[in-house]
A and B are shown apart, each in its own frame.
Chain A
Amino acid sequence: DAGVTQSPTHLIKTRGQQVTLRCSPKSGHDTVSWYQQALGQGPQFIFQYYEEEERQRGNFPDRFSGHQFPNYSSELNVNALLLGDSALYLCASSADIGTGNSPLHFGNGTRLTVT
């Protein structure tokens, strides 16, 4: 049973460019969340997708956008890259269980370096 898979594992981009990161959730999960983890810090919530809609959003600018597909996989897009966007981008999936909190399972992330 595959867990959360992310691609690519590493990426180097130049300031001003755009990037797309991809995520496949754990089997049986229908909700995908994205987090940004700067070096030496805890993950910071970017947004969450459920039923192909953005359900919740953290304190990130509009340059960060996402999409969820009918098969529950997801993409994170970042436009006009800044040096400060260099970080580990983590995807987490969970199963929607009504009003309760279900455990989030993380992938190993995409390491983005902006030069």
Chain B
Amino acid sequence: GENVEQHPSTLSVQEGDSAVIKCTYSDSASNYFPWYKQELGKGPQLIIDIRSNVGEKKDQRIAVTLNKTAKHFSLHITETQPEDSAVYFCAASGSRILTGGGNKLTFGTGTQLKVEL
């Protein structure tokens, strides 16, 4: 099955700096890659996603890049703010045709991001 690795496990940056979180996946059939932000006591919140036919996607201060050949994807947060502090998860999902219609997500182990003043 799919295996997703995520690095680093913790990341501390100064306010205004950029933060980069990297993930690799094992299943070349995976074609959907969302990123989630989880704050304490809450469920994961989708912040951005990318599909395998796109190499890069940007939404204001957040961007995601995908390298299908190397099977890795990254989250970039620019101009970080204290409210960006949270745990971030990457995930991967395979072709629904191959799974009988299911869209199971395989998650990475998470990155604790701390933005310091």
Task: Say yes or no: B45 contacts A104, CB within 8 Å.
Answer: no
Could you tell me the distance in whole angstroms from the C-beta of A26 to the nearest C-beta in chain B? 11
Contact with A along B39-71 (1 / 0, CB 8 A): 001111110010100000000000000000000
A55-B110 in contact given A100-B96, A104-B34 (Cβ < 8 Å)? no
Contacts of A90 in B (CB 8 A): 43-44
The listed residue (A43, A101, A109) touching B103 by CB distance below 8 A is A101
Task: Say yes or no: B110 contacts A48, CB within 8 Å.
Answer: no
- Is A29 interfacial (CB 8 A cutoff)? no
Task: Say yes or no: B43 contacts A103, CB within 8 Å.
Answer: no
Q: How far is the CA of A58 from the CA of B91 in the complex (A)?
A: 15
Q: How far is the CA of A41 from the CA of B37 in the complex (A)?
A: 13
Contacts of A35 in B (CB 8 A): 105
Q: How far is the CA of A30 from the CA of B89 in the complex (A)?
A: 24
The listed residue (B44, B102, B106) touching A48 by CB distance below 8 A is B102
Task: Say yes or no: A105 contacts B104, CB within 8 Å.
Answer: no
Could you tell me the distance in whole angstroms from the C-beta of A113 to the nearest C-beta in chain B? 15
Q: How far is the CA of A90 from the CA of B105 in the complex (A)?
A: 13
Most buried by B among A31, A42, A44, A50: A42
- Is B18 interfacial (CB 8 A cutoff)? no
- Is B97 interfacial (CB 8 A cutoff)? yes
Contact with A along B7-40 (1 / 0, CB 8 A): 0000000000000000000000001101010000
Number of interface residues of A (CB under 8 A): 29
Q: How far is the CA of A101 from the CA of B30 in the complex (A)?
A: 11
Task: Say yes or no: A45 contacts B104, CB within 8 Å.
Answer: yes
Task: Say yes or no: A42 contacts B110, CB within 8 Å.
Answer: yes
Most buried by A among B41, B49, B97, B104: B104
- Is A86 interfacial (CB 8 A cutoff)? no
In the complex, the 6 A-B pairs of residues with the closest C-beta atoms, listed nearest first: A56-B102, A42-B107, A101-B32, A106-B43, A108-B43, A45-B104
Interface residues of chain A, those whose CB is within 8 Å of chain B, are 4, 31, 33, 35, 40-45, 48, 50, 55-56, 58, 90, 94, 96, 99-109
Interface residues of chain B, those whose CB is within 8 Å of chain A, are 4, 6, 31-32, 34, 36, 41-46, 49, 51, 89, 91, 93, 95-97, 99-110
